Amino acid sequence: MQGKGFIKFIAIVLAIVCAYALSFTLVSSSVEKDAKNYAKGDMAKEKAYLDSMSTVKVYPLLGFTYQEVKSKEINLGLDLKGGMNVTMEISLSELVKSLAGSPTDANFNKALQNAQTQLNAGGKDYIKLFVNEFEKLSPGVKLAEYFSNQDNATQLKSTASNGEVQSFLEKEATSAIDRSFIILRSRIDGFGVVSPNMQKQEGSNRILIEMPGVQDKERISKLLQGSAELQFWQVYQVQEVLPVLEGINKTLVTTLKDTKTAATDTTTTTAAAGGKLAGLEKATAKDTTAKGGKLAGLGKKDSTAVKAELAKSNPLFSVLSIPTYTAENGQQQLRPGPIVGWVAQKDTAKVNSYFKIPEVAASIPSTMKFMWSVKPMEGTKVFELYAIKALSADGKPDLGGESISDSRNDFDQKGKPEVTMYMTSEGAAKWKKITAEASADRNNLKAIAIVLDNAVYSAPTVQNEIPNGVSSITGNFTQNDTKDLSNILKAGKLPAPARIAGSFVVGPTLGAQAIHDGLISFVIAFIVILVFMALYYHRAGWVANFALLLNLFFIIGILVSLGAVLTLPGIAGIVLTIGLSVDANILIFERVREELAHGKNTSAAIKEGFKHAMPSIIDSNVTLFILGAILYVFGSGPVQGFATTLCIGILSSLFAAVAISRVVFESLLNRKIDISFDNSVTRNAFKNISFNFVGRRKIYYVISTLIIIAGIGMYFKNGGLNLGVDFKGGRTYLVHFDKAVNTEDLKSKLNPVFGNETPEVKTAGEDSQVKITTTFHIEDQDVKTDKLVEDALNKGLAGSKYEIVSSQKVTPIIASDIVNGAFYAVLISCLFMFIYIVVRFKKWQYGLGAVIALFHDVLMVLSFYTILDGIMPFSLEIGQDFIAAILTVMGYTMTETVVVFDRIREKLKESGKEDLHGEERNHLINFALNSTLSRTILTSLTVFFVLLVIFIFGGDSIRGFIFALLIGRIIGTYSSLCISTPIVIDLGSSAEKK
């Protein structure tokens, strides 16, 4: 075998990369296990332990801290961890209206409304829709008349064409979405979400946000939908604030003396770098740098008693460090600047609570307000504290965000990243006065804080008076820093509100259950495959099992390396990929057995088996990969997770099942080890089968037609398909009761509280669990609407013991996008399949036959869904997961069909008569179908058993999804044997007659 050394090299490198990626999960799990052992069930102590370890190097071999290790571990999706998924929509109609100065022109506003209506109906590109509508309603009128105003004068001339105005609006829309992304990210970081996942949905005005562990829907809604407020404040210097902080510390000693708050604090506390300023001789902190390295803990010599004493005598300075540095004389000196304190993240809430104590609040000057930095210092979990000067009588800032006309990230003359800020004429006048005051004393230059949502983003020191409103902000910035700061500065004039267009909440109980169910199904399904391969193919089966184990290691390692989020559908994708990878081994082993039956020795049989199986393996995997790629492009959320694992799994499976297993066989042969591909039971399985598939094709046509007609009949009887909330819009709640409930009784109770909008109430997996779906107030965008609907639900369920396990909200515009995406996914899949097969097999009949078979399978699965809906003890809703199932079914069909087509092509080529007609052709095609029957049945059964295991043990959340795959697996096998090939024959016969 050529290239054996290269394959071994790639396998070793891949194994090292995967082991490296997975090692972070092992290390973080070890630290968290220690935390649990230390806390013994006390969640506060466990959290404090992990906070204290955040900057400790827990991976000494590579020098990574716990915080860094945690960021590189396996990312679990919300369905496995619990939390909240939110889709934010930026209102571009309000952005356009604001950029035009909110005109009262009827046609202008009508164009805005029409464009929004078209967008809600599934249209794309709001700006283009608006321009088209305006030109229809006001032909000959130039858009520049509205948009070339004082605020936009630097970017848009009064003579600009409508095309130039459209380009300007598109640029502003993109900028607004970028700014919203920055603002939302900062708010979520401030909320304290661990490892949030945020993605801008390309080509749309939406942002997807996943927040593990978050359950407070109302608070998150207010947090994300509030308007951004950019402010500029003068700030106090640290030497001006220190006396105030010392006064607060003394007040706290007195105030907390007789309370529990001054008692022993048993958790790890931050060392007071400013301890000497408070007269503490034992606080031996050295130079406290901006990295905050000394802030993580007191060190091994500090006992709990010392910490408790520090907390009693210096409550504030036990958690707040005064910025200092070591002077040339070796003494600690105050570090000049606007930062007045450093506080560990875990202690910021305590400091806030101290400031709110009435006695403390009274001691703080009325002109002083404390604010935190927006994020911790790099490489730490330490936040900076600033003291803002509130000098005006009304408490307003020196300057507001409305004074900013533009901001750009650029480079200075030395090539270092900087931000250039442009003021409006009114803002420039105020800015001149503020900067003049801040730079009046050349020996004591003052800073000005840039604040958004009451968090300090930057506090640059003013170097001189700025008279023209054009300012340059420099510092130790990266390009990303200046880009973010530029967006923040422009956020002050952000006229496009962000609204929640869709949300999904998963309770932590469901997440824990999903993990358990997913792991159980995974382990059992994997064991089923290993046992089957070992029993059926004897020693060769163990080679396949080794390749499968290696494949599993590669798939998970690659997923972690790429930072992919593992969801329950993702686990299903891994298990399915492993099941499908068996297909390559079965194809190879069956061809090897054929060669052995022809009298060849084992070495020659293995060589020929790999050679003849490769075209089918390549064709079937390429078609399935194309489907996975389409699924990834058009899907979202869990569907993309499934597609990601599918595509990675296909590539990994090809390498493991083909390349590595070939190397193993070569090694066994070189060592003269006997290799068997069967046993006494399986040796003659599927031999001498001669089933007349072609002759009975009309019977199959009739069977399929009857099932599809029955499905159409049930479709009209049921009033359409049972569409899930993500296809029609609405809210869905999964509710678990303490005992079995009657769905009709629940419906009658909920009907009046939902304004007589009859909700859908269906059993979900068991009699004590129901899924409630309603469109009540779904069009209402008010922040309080979610709580209003949930209050109505609780009112309707009053008198029962229940728990809302999860909830989902999808607005009609999101639903229409999902429907369109699903529709295009199916059409584009069929187009790609047709092109690939026509090119590969050089006959249009093959391509059209395969596409007809695909449509046949989709109709069959839909028919079974409509027929069985209401009969099965679980929901058969059609949603995003169902589309994933449909496309996967199409993948099965294509895999099966391509393998059969390959064998037909091979047999026709061997006969030397590739254009056979009539009975001679039918006989040869029947022979090809029967010769691949062992592979078709074995692969189908293997995947079917895997799916069956997931269906039984995988949990209610994916049962409908797996049911579609189970049906599809049966239909795909039936279709490849009984539908697609006979259709090719009939298409060929029609062509002959013509």
Q: Which helix (H) or strand (E) holds 436?
A: helix 425-438
Does one domain contain both 589 and 668? yes
Which among 568, 565, 554 is positioned nearest to 521, based on CA atoms?
Answer: 568
The CB density around residue 697, as the number of other CB atoms within 10 Å, is 18
Q: Evaluate if pTM is beyond 0.75.
A: no
Please check whether residues 91 and 210 belong to one and the same domain.
Answer: yes
Helix (H) or strand (E) holding 571: helix 568-597
Residue 281 phi/psi, 5-degree rounding, is -75, -25
Coil/strand/helix, residue 268? coil
Whether residue 209 sits in one domain with residue 334: no
Which of 460, 483, 503 marks a domain boundary?
503
Q: Give me the residue label for tokens 């009114």.
A: 426
Per the listing, tokens 């059992």 go with 524
CA distance 405 to 154: 9
Asked if residue 680 is part of any domain, the answer here is: no
The structure tokens 């007809």 sit at 852
Q: Which residues of 925-938 are buried (b: 16+ CB within 10 A; e: fewer)?
A: bbebbbbbbbbbbb
Gap between the Cα atoms of 961 and 127, Å rounded: 37
Query: Are residues 822 and 803 located together in one domain of the fold?
Result: no
Burial 516-540 (b: 16+ CB within 10 A, else e): ebbebbbebbbebbbebbeebbbeb
Q: Which amino acid is present at 792?
A: A
Which residue, among 709, 759, 703, has the nearest Cα to 730 in the 3D structure? 759
* Domain of residue 298, residue span: 235-395
55 in the same domain as 149? no
Between CA 821 and CA 567 the distance in angstroms is 21
Domain assignment present for residue 460? The answer is no
Q: Own/partner pairs for 711-717, CB < 8 Å, 24+ apart? A: 711/859, 711/860, 711/862, 711/863, 711/864, 711/865, 711/866, 711/867, 712/863, 714/863, 714/866, 714/867, 714/869, 715/866
430 in any annotated domain: no
pLDDT number for residue 266: 33
Report how far residue 58's alpha carbon sits from residue 47's, in angstroms, rounded to the nearest whole number: 16
**pLDDT computed for residue 346 by the predictor:** 80
**In-domain check, residue 910:** yes
In terms of C-beta density within 10 A (0-12 exposed, 13-18 middle, 19 or more buried), how is residue 164 classed? middle
Q: Which of 824, 817, 831, 823 is nearest to 626 (CA)?
A: 831
Residue whose structure tokens are 């509030």: 226
Q: Is 662 exposed, middle or buried (0-12, 13-18, 19+ CB in 10 A)?
A: buried
* Three-class SS state of 447: strand
DSSP for residue 401: G
- Position 976 in a domain: yes
Domain count of the fold of the chain: 5
In this structure, what CATH number is given to the domain that contains residue 517? Answer: 1.20.1640.10
Query: 279: phi > 0 → left, psi -120 to 50 → alpha, else beta; which?
Result: left
How far apart, in whole angstroms, are the C-alpha atoms of residue 397 and residue 451?
A: 10
Same structural domain, 657 and 700: yes
Using alpha carbons, select from 6, 334, 372 the residue that is nearest to residue 192: 372
In a domain, 842, yes or no: yes
pLDDT of residue 211: 76
CB of 198 within 8 A of CB of 208? yes
Indicate whether 886 and 748 sit together in one domain. Answer: no
Q: What secondary structure does DSSP assign to 772-838, as a single string?
A: EEE-TTTT---TTHHHHHHHHHHHHTTTS-EEEEEEEEE-HHHHHHHHHHHHHHHHHHHHHHHHHHH
| Residues 280, 341 within the same domain | yes
| Domain's final residue, options 810, 827, 853 | 810
Query: Distance between CA 62 and CA 57 in Å, rounded?
Result: 9
Q: Which of 46, 73, 100 is the last residue of a domain?
A: 73
How many Cβ atoms sit within 10 Å of the Cβ of residue 864? 23
Tokens describing residue 885: 């199932």
Amino acid at 488: I
Whether residue 698 contacts residue 739, with contact meaning beta carbons closer than 8 Å, is answered with no
Structure tokens at 756: 């007589």
pLDDT at 705: 93
Q: Compute the 3-state secondary structure of the chain and give helix, strand, coil in percent, each to the nearest 5.
A: 60, 15, 30
Q: Mean pLDDT of residues grouped by 10 in the chain (994 residues)?
A: 78 92 90 88 80 82 84 75 76 84 87 83 79 90 83 77 88 82 69 64 72 67 67 89 92 73 36 28 31 31 57 85 84 86 87 90 90 82 90 78 80 83 84 87 85 82 86 76 73 61 65 68 80 87 90 89 75 70 83 86 89 82 79 67 81 87 88 83 74 85 93 85 72 84 83 78 75 78 74 84 78 63 72 80 80 85 85 72 71 75 76 63 79 79 79 70 80 83 74 53
Q: Are residues 782 and 708 in the same domain?
A: no
Q: Are strands 382-389 and 230-235 parallel, antiparallel or unpaired?
A: antiparallel
CA–CA separation, 379 and 925 (whole Å): 67
Q: Any idea which residue has 């060592």 for tokens?
A: 671
Q: Are strands 565-566 and 75-76 parallel, antiparallel or unpaired?
A: parallel
DSSP string, 418-434: EEEEEE-HHHHHHHHHH
| CATH number for the domain harbouring residue 760 | 3.30.70.3400
- Strand order of the sheet with strand 470-473? 404-411, 417-423, 470-473
Helices and strands (H and E) in the chain: how many? 32, 25
| Integer Cα distance of 889 and 735 in angstroms | 31
Strand partners, 360: none
Flag whether 487 is in a domain: no
With left for phi above 0 and alpha for psi between -120 and 50, is residue 683 left, alpha or beta?
alpha
Q: Which two tokens stand for residue 974?
A: 């039936």
pLDDT of residue 292: 29
Instruction: Please say whether the beta carbons of 69 and 28 come within 8 A.
Output: yes
Q: Does residue 79 belong to any structural domain of this protein? A: no
Residues 554 and 589 occupy one common structural domain = yes
Rounded-to-integer distance, Cα 160 and Cα 431, Å: 31
Looking at residue 422, its pLDDT comes to: 86
Same-domain status, 759 and 859:
no
Phi, psi of 433 (to 5 degrees): -65, -45
Reference 685, options 763, 590, 822; nearest CA is: 590
Q: Are residues 204 and 106 in the same domain?
A: yes
Tokens of 745: 């009784």
Give the closest residue to 843 by CA, choosing from 701, 985, 951, 982.
Answer: 985
* Alpha carbon distance 72, 23 (integer Å): 9
The rounded distance, in Å, linking the Cα atoms of 419 and 485 is 7
